[in-house]
């Protein structure tokens, strides 16, 4: 069975209680995202973008409401199923790349295939192929410390693609990059969204990134303020 919405958020809340005070990082968020859509999440600092990223990605648990991925309420999944979801269904891209420093670009990209149970040779071959497709074919044996920021983010994108996920989640993917490098990363992500039909959800401050998207979700104080067509 195939669902219309690859991501569905129902009355999603994430509250933090600190002593007397309750911080409503997310407060009643409802959103449906279609397969192949490119959605930008925009809003001032502290508006709840990262919190939303974490909840959609199954990295944090909501205080209330539900996240459905391909029609499955992820709160119902046990630790094993959740790990599989993170491994196979979702690719994560972070502002600070989060590459494993001791591994080469190739090994970083192959790591998710290890968790997916792909035989080593096949995983490495696939990683090589993906790295070539993101323009890093000649840098595969370099470690993150030997790569530029833009190249590191390319490795991170390649790693996010390693298990052919249907969703790419990105939290400020251009936040640590200069203008031109940021532009290249946006083009790369946008291209993946268009050519592979990947659903792309990106929290961002970057106007260039927003412009390329199908829909723009404006957040304020943990709520969706408005949704615009791109």
Ligand X SMILES: Nc1ncnc2c1ncn2[C@@H]1O[C@H](COP(=O)(O)OP(=O)(O)OP(=O)(O)O)[C@@H](O)[C@H]1O
Tell me how far, at minimum, the Cβ of 26 lies from ligand X, in Å: 8
DSSP 5: E
Question: Does the protein bind another protein through residue 184 (CB under 8 A)?
Answer: no
DSSP 188: H
Residues in the chain: 230
CA–CA separation, 52 and 58 (whole Å): 10
For residues 162 and 219, which CB has a smaller minimum distance to Mg ion in the complex? Answer: 219
Q: Of these partners, Mg ion, ligand X, another protein, none, which one is at the site of residue 85 (CB under 5 to 8 Å by kind)? A: another protein
Question: Does the protein bind ligand X through residue 28 (CB under 6 A)?
Answer: no
DSSP 87: I
CA–CA separation, 88 and 166 (whole Å): 8
Q: Of these partners, Mg ion, ligand X, another protein, none, which one is at the site of residue 114 (CB under 5 to 8 Å by kind)? A: another protein
How many whole angstroms from its chain centre is CA 1?
24
CA–CA separation, 7 and 120 (whole Å): 32
CA–CA separation, 8 and 52 (whole Å): 12
Q: Which of the ranges 32-40, 69-77, 126-134, 211-219 carries the binding residues for another protein, by CB under 8 A?
A: 69-77
Output the residue with the shortest Cβ distance to Mg ion: 50
Q: Among 43, 48, 57, 173, indicate the residue that binds another protein (CB under 8 A).
A: 57
CA–CA separation, 222 and 64 (whole Å): 13
CA–CA separation, 78 and 60 (whole Å): 14
Question: Does the protein bind another protein through residue 155 (CB under 8 A)?
Answer: no
Q: Among 39, 52, 92, 174, indicate the residue that binds another protein (CB under 8 A).
A: 92
Per CB under 6 A, residues contacting ligand X are: 16, 18, 23, 25, 43, 45-51
Per CB under 8 A, residues contacting another protein are: 1, 3, 54, 57, 59-60, 69-72, 76-77, 79-81, 83-89, 92, 94, 96, 98-103, 107, 111-112, 114-117, 143, 159
């Amino acid at each position: 069975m195939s669902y219309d919405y690859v991501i569905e958020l129902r009355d999603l809340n994430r509250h933090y209680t600190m002593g007397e005070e309750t911080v409503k990082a997310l407060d009643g968020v409802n959103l449906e995202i279609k397969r192949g859509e490119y959605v930008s999440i925009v809003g001032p600092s502290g508006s709840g973008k990262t919190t939303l990223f974490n909840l959609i990605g199954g990295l944090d648990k909501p205080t209330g409401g539900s996240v459905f991925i391909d029609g499955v309420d992820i709160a119902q999944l046990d630790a094993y199923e959740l790990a599989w979801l993170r491994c196979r269904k979702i690719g994560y891209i972070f502002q600070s790349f989060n590459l494993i420093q001791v591994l080469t670009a190739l090994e970083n990209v192959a790591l998710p295939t290890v968790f997916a149970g792909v035989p080593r040779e096949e995983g490495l071959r696939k990683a090589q192929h993906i790295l070539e497709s993101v323009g890093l074919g000649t840098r595969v044996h370099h470690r993150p410390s030997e790569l530029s920021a833009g190249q590191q983010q390319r490795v991170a994108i390649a790693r996010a693609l390693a298990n052919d996920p249907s969703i790419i989640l990105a939290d400020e993917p251009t936040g640590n990059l200069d203008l031109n490098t940021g532009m290249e990363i946006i083009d790369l992500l946008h291209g993946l969204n268009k050519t592979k039909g990947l659903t792309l959800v990106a929290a961002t401050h970057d106007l260039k990134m927003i412009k390329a998207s199908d829909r723009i979700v404006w957040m304020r104080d943990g709520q969706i303020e408005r949704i615009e067509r791109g």
